[in-house]
Amino acid sequence: MKRVLKVIFGWFKRYLSVSFATALIVAFLLWGAVKLGHTYVTDTEFDVVLAEQSANCTAMVEGTGYQILKFQFATRSGVVIERSDVRITYPKADSAIIQRSSLLKTMSSKYNDIKIVSIESIGVLK
């Protein structure tokens, strides 16, 4: 592995100037910063955890790239909500479903820096 890295580094050193490589890296970082500043609308998935039960949820969110990344990092381990914050329906004796409108209201108040446009789908609580 060391030998491979040495060969690759030697190739870069021989055929690529340091100033060009630095300018390329700076240009890429600036391009990324500009792109993350734009407003996007995207679907994102996360788990909703309610009293030790979880359900998969898909929501459409709108915000800048920075806000969407922050939201995805914040929800990667699941969104913990209280039972009193949402309305739950019981279509069958052994299943429970969170109502979309109550989950949208709860999520909007919990994550107020990003606009949650709609809740696309909510799985059954398990």
Whether the full predicted model's pTM is greater than 0.85, yes or no, is no
Domain ranges in the chain?
2-36, 39-122
**pLDDT per residue as tens, the chain (126 positions):** 778 888 877 877 777 777 888 898 999 999 999 999 999 999 988 888 887 788 888 999 999 999 999 998 988 888 888 888 888 888 777 777 888 888 889 888 888 889 999 988 887 777
Asked whether the beta carbons of 75 and 125 are under 8 A apart, the reply is no
Give the pLDDT confidence score for residue 1 in this predicted structure: 78
Asked whether the beta carbons of 57 and 121 are under 8 A apart, the reply is yes
Give the pLDDT confidence score for residue 74 in this predicted structure: 87
